[in-house]
Amino acid sequence: MRPRIGITSWLRDDSDGLERWAAVRDTYAGAIRTAGGLPVVLPVADGDPGVIAEYLGAVEGLLLPGGGDVAPAYYGEARDERCEEPDRERDFFEIHLARAALEGRTPILGICRGLQVLNVVGGGTLYQDVACRPGTSPQHAASREDRRKPIHPVHILPGTRLHAIMGVSESLVTSTHHQFVKDLAPGFRITAESPEDGAVEGIENPAHPFLVAVQWHPERMYQDHPEHLALFRALVAAAKEMRG
């Protein structure tokens, strides 16, 4: 049986505003299926510990996908005007889910916003916009037409789990973020950086069975670039191992 990988969703309003949808981009589910896992969509829920525990009990691994900005209040800052208006329901849900997954040692892969959620849950902070850090390249936020094109390089640090998974020291990636790690969460380590400006592009927690996060979007690249599919394969393998 394929390991079940929970993918957190977000809420979208219907065009007439009468209904709401639990949304997940198919690229995430497709990457998990291709990697040998069974994608399970986790609808946004409140922070009830019982609900969170049941969600995590129903899956063997967790994927925290990309999305909007994490509310700065979660890392002790006032919102800068360049920070998006937070999705309070999604923030509350994912913060509580990620915290429980860390404590329960569930295998986790974070992508873009998912990396930021994990850093914040671990006690780190974020730059609210690239302009908050002088010299940061605007290439971190690809235009819509470039979202499937590798457009900027990342350097993957030797000796990290990320390097062992991807098997390369350099990779071209696509990303659409304007926020990134400022203060790294205690116990985490940096696994990838932008050679252009030193921005953090990957983090992991060596003390966790599997906690890997990247700032770029491998789900947009996995079909043509095996080193990016390898991230999803590693998550599925870790979930299978945890299941026993």
Q: How far apart are CA 52 and CA 228, in angstroms?
A: 29
HSE-up of residue 65 (Cα within 13 Å, Cβ side): 25
Q: How far apart are CA 5 and CA 241, in angstroms?
A: 13
Helix/strand/coil for 129 = coil
| Residue from 54, 42, 19 nearest 93 by CA | 42
204 and 160 in contact (C-beta within 8 Å)?
yes
Give the DSSP per-residue string, 29-93. Answer: HHHHHHTT-EEEEE------HHHHHHHHHT-SEEEE---SPPPGGGGT-PPPTTSPPP-HHHHHH
Bridge partners for 156 per DSSP = 192
Q: How far apart are CA 97 and CA 100, in angstroms?
A: 5
Q: How far apart are CA 197 and CA 3, in angstroms?
A: 38
- Would you name the residues annotated as active-site residues? 112, 217, 219
| Residue from 219, 212, 214 nearest 234 by CA | 212
